[in-house]
Structure 1
Amino acid sequence: MDIWTAMKAHYLTPLFQPKSVAVIGASETPESVGSRVFRNLLDAPFKGRIYGVNLRHPTVYGERVYARLRDLPEREIDLAVIATAARTLPQLLRECGEHGVKTALVLSRDFVAVDSHNRALLNEAMQEAQRYGLRVLGPNLLGLMRPDIGLIAANYQGRVKPGNLALLSQSSSVASAVLDWAEAHEVGFSNVVSLGAAADVNFGEILDYLSQDSRTHGILLYLEDVGEARGFMSALRAAARTKPVVTLKVGRYAEPGVSSTAARTHSERLIGRDDAFDAAMRRAGVLRVSTMVQMSIAARMLAANYRVRGRRLAVISNGYGVGRMAVDRARELQVELPRLDPATIARLDAVLPPIGSHDNPVDILGDAPPDRFVAATEACLADPQIDGVMVLLTPQAGTDDLLTAERMITLRDQTDKLLLLVWLGDKKIALSRKRLDRAKMAYFTAPEHAVEAFASLAAYAHIQLLSLQTPGPLASRDAPDVAAARAAIRRALDAGRATLDARETMTVLEAFHIPFAASQTVRTVDEAVAAAVKLGLPVALKIDADGVLHKSEVEGVLLDLHTLDAVAAAATQLLVESAKRGLNLQGLVVQKMHSRRHGRELMIGAARDAVFGPLILFGAGGEAVELFDDVAVTLPPLNDVIAHSLIRRSKIARALGPYRNHPAANMEAVKEVLLRLSEMVCELPELQEIDLNPVVVDEHGAVAVDAGMTVAPLPAKFRRYSHMAIHPYPSHLVREGQLRDGLAYTLRPIRPEDAEMEQRFVREELSEQSRFNRFMGTVKQLTKPLLVRLTQLDYAREMALIAVAGEQMLGVARFSVNPDFDSCEFAIAIGDRWQGRGLGNQLMNALFEAARGMELTTMEGDILASNSPMLGLMKKLGFDIRPHPDDPQLKWVVKRL
């Protein structure tokens, strides 16, 4: 994988854009896979070389075929399509490897039954493929299609039109259904991939390719399960940064009979099996839909580059009923229907009949001629309170649907706001619908679908904002005492406990500066009384017992103790009751009663999802937290923007503002707790579940009143942040440096907000020769897609370290992890003014350290043979300089780390 130059082909290019294809199992047997695939390639026709392989027949469909791969007139075939029985796969992949085949597509159907024999057979086949470096897609899949080059290598019967949408599906049946729908609606595809069993090439790798494919403007994704989250999220985020991705996932609800009663914390109990996936898609910048109709609508809108800046919609209709249909669906989807600006209403009053609504929704009456439609639409498009306008037309006496459509097409070209049309009916408006189709207008046949499209676009704009967030270290000066927190966790694990006791919990909270109600742990009645005197009455008493996170469930909490006698009696009661219940009591917690007049109770927590790792939760707190089921979920790491979005999605968010005699809660304090909790789960991978419930917040601040934490040992060979689906900003790589002449600079990983600085660096700090050396071409400035790829990194598989002095970038060194996840490819550029001052050496040594931290063993790169200064630096740094295997104008440099 190479994301540092725009010219190098993706390693899956032979699979998606083969120049030569061999169909192994090509035949004329009716309904056979080999027959259909070979016929599809001939009929498309495929714009490359096709070879059929068949042991028994010299010709298939009039085309010469060959008995074996070794008989082909060409070596190094790009793609072999295998359409034979599963038992033949190991031998065929061995033959593919020996013949130099680069990729293979396995359509064999009889791997569907997963048993020990098939597993062993598939393992043997994959070992053969790995032996030769042969990449395999499948088995058990519909196939692979690239319509623009006639590559219809699929067991599919139907027409697939070229277009700019890619379809990636885990289900062959769903892919077939989407293709059938697309044929009826004249929707085309750049690529269609049915993933099948994914024995080798996986979702992440295909998404990697699609994100770089110039033919693909939007991606449709159908999912049933995710598998390994880190690679999937990494590729998904990369794809969604450059083009819209719409996903439909089944399995939103738990299987019948699956219970969450085994969950230990409120945080774990409150997370549904679908919440984590939802949160992951939101952070990746991917639009999730719930039906195939919504997926098709959203994909067409996004791929056609329709966008909207907000959620404020104006509705115009020539009928009250259809207008109300749109309004009802908008309210269900929380699409805003704001009142129009007074100036807009005055403008409508001047051009519309006096009867009917002149506010949102606007009723222009059933007999509205084209001029009335246009006047109302122009007024609403000009309204500063409106982000998009929906126009609904029903064919009635006085309307002219065709002329109105023509006028709307003209209006669309005169505004930068979204204009949605709903033409209701069928026979009477058929001609105008065809006209709207030809003009590629955003038009619909039902008001509900139009509202859903608008809501999808609005949601997409918001999640794109979230996806660009790369949280760095907290701005607060108080760095966490990670060592103290880890020592507390280690004590619990060494003692064989899965829950932290009260003292350990408070140590962790204090280490990460999370405010906690004043508390003291005690063991005896006398110590409890002394603690109450020290803390001040009234106090609460709580048990501290192994494995007990919800103390109220075992009657282990007594509140509002206003006298020392009450404290003594309560302590005695808790000690006696704990002994009766057989609890392994560590002691008691005496806590100052925390009572705030305007306090709201929140639940802030974290839980571990089996696929996506840690999740942060926010919602209403207190004893009834699970009853009200108010929880919003996101993936860490968090920053201010993500924390604010998380709070806003909860039901309790409305109660945090001012109401009745309650002043607004201190939102900054709430966000600070969330940010600290995010920092905690990032840096303490042993933490499994965290409950801060309740967290009491008022106008003065936020304080956690109770807390519980569970932990687990780390797996063998644990790598930093490998427990997370989204790699945090690697702040441990930030350091100060100095050039030979004394100029001080900061060396740090790049961030999205550095895009403009990177652009200036390439445009102003690199000479034409330096740009040619760096990009191996005539590059004056970076294109937007390339700039995004260079600055919006997934730190789990790529790194870019920049040297910055003030707002000036001096140089950058970067690497991208190769598909083997053992080696990486690097690139470096130093501004002309800063060359010869030691910066290249310092940047590369920092890059070595970052690569070693990811447990990479080899760094390699391509350098122009004419770039003597860079080759000199490479030799000094210990690189082995070799002839390039593919290009004599390049040198291949390799260093063992």
Structure 2
Amino acid sequence: MKPHYLTSLFSPRSVAVIGASDTPGSVGQAVFANLLAGNFQGKLYPVNLNHKTVGGIAAVASVRQIEPDVELAVVTTPLRSLPAIMKDCGKKGVKAMLLAKEFSDSEQIEREIMAEAMSIASHYGIRVLGPNVLGLMRPVAGFNATNYTSKVKTGNLALVSQSSALCTAMLDWADSKGIGFSSVISVGTALDVEFGEILDYLVADTFTQGILLHVHHIHDARRFMSALRAAARTKPVVVIKSGRYESQEAGVLASSHLIDGNDVFDVALSRAGVLQVQTIAQLFTAAKMLAAKYRIAGRRLAIVTNGIGPGILAADSAWTYGVELAQLSAQTLSQLDDVLPRNWSRANPVDIIGDASPMRFRSGVKACLDDPGVDGVLVIFTPQAGTDHLTTAQLMVGLQRESSKPIFLSWLGDAKVSESRELFSKAKCAHFRAPEFAVEVFRNLAAYHDNQQLLLQTPGPLEGALHEPDVAAARAVIADVLAQGRAVLSERESKAVLASFGIPVNPTLLATTEDEAVALAAAIGYPVVLKIDSPDIMYKSDVSGVELNISNEATLRQAFASIWQRAQAVKPDARISGVSVQAMKKYRYAREVMVGVAHDSVFGPVIAFGAGGIAVEVLQDRALALPPLNAYLVRRMIARTRISKVLGPFRNLPEVDHDALHNVLLRVSEMVCELPEVRELEINPLLVDEHGVMVLDASIILHAVPAGRKRYQHMAIMPYPAHMVKQVCLKDETEVLIRPVRPEDADMQQAFVRNLSEESRYNRYLSSIKQLSQQVLVRFTQLDYDREMALAMVRELDGTEEMLAVARFITDPDMESCEFALEVGDSWQGRGIGYVLMDALFDAARMQGLKIMHGEVLAANKGMLKLMQKLGFEVTVHPEDRALTLVSKVL
């Protein structure tokens, strides 16, 4: 595998420090001294206009005077010199640059200088980290290009921070706890290299086992989510978000009353499969636990203690943190009856009585671990007469090695139990001085498990559709409204869009006169509802524009006139199309809910669900989710609301039709995917009862979409590209399916690789592997379809799918070219499969807006080279390795 394209930045073999200095207190002195003191094994060159030596090393006036190649330039000089330095570095062939100086985008002159410098960098292909950065550290390589003055320990965690000040605080805190790092990366203003590319590098970094991320704000949500999800698939990622209070004060929130910008960020992180924490202490504790492979499969905690007081306090903490106390099974209770004193608690917390022996502790904990209804056990030891803290600790260490479920250990006290704590540390067991800390960590691990399940969800834009939506009809309504210069759809138009996606609506007919309204009501049948119809009135309640339960013609005529007059009085400039007439539906057991869509300035469309009617704004009972949705995501979304508790059997109310409700949310998700013009949608109320659902009122707000945008570009998460699925008949009449790979294809992909010949595996992976590692398997099957694609050719055999071949591409940083790979099963070679599959891959790449496809082929693989030539690839010998051949094609 080729080195990552940012290797010159993060693991350089030669570094020039421009502005290196001996002046105490200067940034140039601090950075250069740190590089010298860190025992950096690469070449180090000081660049200084006024001094011939710096730190006892010969200096040059310009980077162009350095004879050997320079991979990284660290710039510590004033901003005004940056364009000239950038030009020198470009001519020298420098590949990456770290801007250690501060830059203010509030000053016009500084913005102009920086824009000029970045333009030069782009021209020469120089990748730039910064400005406004603390710097960059790779403790595992002795590389420290920062002005941080304290020593940083080596470890397996990578720290990426948007704030230099917070980064130094985290490093100081970590040092006091003995925590080390593989990398420390300060992102700063991120005018070029940003979170996405940094995360990509860390995913491939073998020294990094966990990633800590501090985020203040996001520029490109799609790129951020794409990289974050890719990272979270292979390594634990823990995120701390700053700026929540600042966002509230500044009003940096979404425009709709349905969503809050901070809540949307939380939902996005959950969907990315990462763990979000609130404090620096939680950040490092969670990271250590995840990097140590502690995992749980649920939220059910059992507490075993020899002191009921601490046990109850721990149970209180569980309630506070939303951790569920496990209900012990009858079998577990029976086992505990056999091994515990008669006066044990017979409940969770499990009080095994104060004089508990080490074996009593072991028996009690083991019984809880064996209970299928328990996901983890918290053991609280209190030193009392007859207890043995060290032997008990030794038994717990042994028990943890036997069990796949985590044990959280809290030995209360100080000097008396210090030896046990040392034992726990050496054995790398999860131990805490206070039980509430253990409960908090258990909660975080449970949240991480939930988020990892969310990460696995790859719904398509039309996931589970009961029927094909009439997208063309919906687009026609939208195009007509936009052509009229309007952004707000009337209720009739909104319901027409919903109906085209199969959502049940209460039909709405428009009357422009009293007589028309009377005729429509007679046709519909009394009682009816009248509503004002105006593109300028978003909420009818603002003008008292609704009259309910009209039962006769006289009342209807009076209501019609009143509605029109009130609307004109409150909003005299509003255009009034007329008054809509609807049947007055009565549902005896219906509940009112709301389904909505709002637009977040960072993450795009967000779907909301919650209590309907006036409760939307009063109770704020709603849950959010990023589209696209599937059944799992819909169920989880509904369960997070309070209104969900009354959707089942409740007093005299029968259970609602959950399938019908789920269907509405899935159809709204389809709308969001396929209609990027929909900026806001509110279905309120949506009535749901035991017979189904009905939309009583709906409103949609549009915004124009620029021409030429890629499909689904408006969304933070790319849906499964179902439009790329196609049936193909091979030359030998074999019926096959070409489709994008899904996460559930992992076993099929592994079987495919195992069945390849050793020569085929070597030609593909340049290694004699027998099968894919778990990490590589995850990367190959859990895809972000925006920047990578894998198309599998499969056939159905005895009810199961068999993979015949797979082709994939990964986009380059320029997002205009991509690197491809093709694998064809040995028994299927020579049947034209490679040609057919690569042609489908070309189509997929063109849909992504890519222009060039390139790759490498082993020169010994003559068959593959012939196929590439047949497909129109340009074939050239690798300039550095004659065993490889470069192939490229303009799409």
* 2:770 alignment partner in structure 1: 780
Map of 2:825 onto structure 1: 831
Shift of 1:558: 1.0
- Could you tell me which residue of structure 2 aligns to residue 46 of structure 1? 40
TM-score (norm 1): 0.95
1:297 Cα deviation after fit = 1.5
CA shift for structure 1 position 55 = 3.2
Quote the residue 1:820 is aligned against: 814
Q: Distance in 2 between matches of 1:579 and 1:216?
A: 66
Residues of 2 paired with 1:384 and 1:742: CA distance?
Answer: 50
Residue 80 of structure 1 is matched in structure 2 by 73
Q: Residue in 2 aligned with 1:840? A: 834
Task: Verify: 1:360 aligned to 2:352, yes or no.
Answer: no
Determine which of 418, 423, 431 is the counterpart of 1:443.
431
Q: What CA distance in whole angstroms lies between the structure 2 residues aligned with 1:797 and 1:259? A: 33
Question: Which of 647, 650, 659 is the matching residue for 1:656?
Answer: 647
TM value normalised by structure 2: 0.96
Asked if the contact 1:316–1:377 (Cα under 8 Å) also holds between the matched residues in 2, the reply is: yes
- Superposition deviation, residue 73 in structure 1: 4.3
Change (3 A) 1:113 1:489: closer
8 A Cα contact 1:252 1:273, kept in partner: no
Checking the alignment, whether the CA contact within 8 Å between 1:804 and 1:810 is kept in structure 2 is yes
Deviations, residues 593-626 of structure 1 (Å, cap 9, x unaligned): 2222221111111111111000010111112310
Please say if 1:203 is aligned against 2:195.
yes
Partner amino acid for 1:608? H
Q: Is the Cα–Cα contact under 8 Å of residues 615 and 621 in structure 2 kept in the other structure?
A: no
Q: 2:758 aligns with which of 768, 771, 774?
A: 768
The equivalences for 1:588-627 within 5 A come to: 588-627=579-618
Distance 1:853 1:517, change over 3 A: same
Q: Matches of residues 484-883 of structure 1 in structure 2 within 5 Å?
A: 484-581=473-570, 582=572, 583-764=574-755, 766-806=756-796, 807-883=801-877
Residues in 1 aligned to 2:111 and 2:179: alpha-carbon distance in whole angstroms: 38
Deviation track 1:501-528 (CA, whole Å, cap 9, x = no partner) reads: 2332122111100111233222222222
**Distance (Å, rounded) in 2 between the aligned partners of 1:300 and 1:653:** 36
Q: Deviations over 1:847-879 (max 9, x none)?
A: 222222222221212122222222222222222
| Residue segments in structure 1 that go unaligned for 5+ positions in a row | 1-6
* Whole-Å separation in 2 of the counterparts to 1:101 and 1:262: 42
CA drift of 1:261 comes to 11
Judge which range, 567-576 or 459-468, deviates more. Answer: 567-576
Q: 223, 234, 238: which is aligned to 1:242? A: 234
What's the secondary structure of 2:239's corresponding residue? strand
Show the counterpart of 1:3. Answer: none
- Tell me, yes or no, if the aligned pair for 2:594 and 2:611 is still in contact at 8 Å: yes
Aligned residue type for 1:85 = P
Greater mean alpha carbon deviation, residues 246-255 or residues 137-146: 246-255
Deviation (angstroms), 1:243: 0.8
Pairwise CA distance, 1:542: 1.1
1:205 positional shift: 0.4
Range moving further from structure 2, 675-684 or 621-630 = 621-630
Distance (Å, rounded) in 1 between the aligned partners of 2:334 and 2:748: 47
Alignment deviations for residues 402-460 of structure 1 (CA, whole Å, 9 cap, x no partner): 33222211111121111001223333333322221111110112222111100111111
Residue 298 of structure 2 is matched in structure 1 by 310
Q: Which residue of 1 aligns with 2:443?
A: 455
1:253 Cα deviation after fit: 4.2
Greater shift in the superposed pair: 709-718 or 19-28: 19-28
* Partners of 2:25 and 2:777 in 1: CA distance: 49
The answer as to whether partners of 1:311 and 1:455 remain within 8 angstroms in 2 is yes
What secondary structure is seen at the aligned counterpart in 1 of 2:257? helix
- Deviation larger for 840-849 or 696-705: 840-849
Q: Distance in 2 between matches of 1:261 and 1:58?
A: 54
Corresponding residue of 2:281? 293
Q: Does the 8 A contact of 1:812 with 1:843 survive in 2? A: yes
| 1:412 and 2:400 matched | yes
For 1:566, give the aligned amino acid: T
1:107 paired residue number: 100
Aligned residue for 1:585, secondary structure, equals coil
Taking structure 1 as reference, are residues 260 and 852 closer, same or farther at Cα in structure 2, changes over 3 Å only?
A: closer
Output the amino acid matched with 2:298.
G
CA deviations 1:242-273 (Å, max 9, x no partner) are 1111111022246466569995xxxx202112
* Aligned amino acid, residue 215 of structure 1: F
Does the C-alpha gap of structure 1 residues 200 and 474 become closer, same or farther in structure 2, counting only changes over 3 Å? closer
Give the alignment of 1:25-174 within 5 angstroms: 25-75=19-69, 77-109=70-102, 111-112=103-104, 114-174=106-166
Paired residues of 1:543 and 1:588 also in contact (CA < 8 A)? yes
Letter in structure 2 aligned against 1:887:
D
Cα 1:833–1:255 shift into 2, 3 Å:
closer
Letter in 1 for 2:222: R
Report the secondary structure of 1:428's partner residue: helix
CA distance in 2, matches of 1:885, 1:277: 46
**Paired letter, 1:760:** A
Q: Which moved more, 1:868-877 or 1:641-650?
A: 868-877
Cα deviation, residue 731, structure 1? 1.6
Q: Offset of 1:170 from its aligned partner? A: 0.3
Q: Is the 8 A contact 1:801 1:812 kept in 2?
A: yes
Per-residue CA deviation, residues 718-767 of structure 1 (Å, 9 max, x unaligned), is 22111000111112222221111221212222211122222222222x33
**How many Å separate the matches in 2 of 1:15 and 1:257?**
37
Query: Contact (CA 8 Å) 1:260, 1:269: kept in 2 or not?
Result: no
216, 228, 243: which one pairs with 1:251? 243
SS of match in other structure, 1:210? helix
Residues 113 and 524 of structure 1: CA distance in aligned 2, closer, same or farther (over 3 Å): closer
Which amino acid in the other structure matches residue 718 of structure 1?
R
1:327 aligns with 2:315: yes
User: Which stretch has the larger CA shift, 7-16 or 18-27?
Assistant: 18-27
Aligned length: 884
Q: Deviations over 1:626-662 (max 9, x none)?
A: 0000110010000111111111111111111212122
Correspondence for 1:430: 418
Q: Deviations over 1:775-825 (max 9, x none)?
A: 233233222211111111111111122222111222222211111111111
Identity across matched positions, percent: 51
Q: 1:464 aligns with which of 452, 466, 469?
A: 452
Which of the numbers 176, 183, 187 marks the counterpart of 1:191? 183
For 1:591 and 1:100, locate their aligned partners in 2 and report how far apart those are by CA, in whole Å.
72
Contact 2:355 2:385 in 1 (8 A): yes
SS at match of 1:270: coil
Q: After the TM superposition, which of the residue ranges 328-337 and 372-381 deviates more from structure 2?
A: 372-381
8 Å contact from structure 2 (residues 750, 772) kept in 1: yes
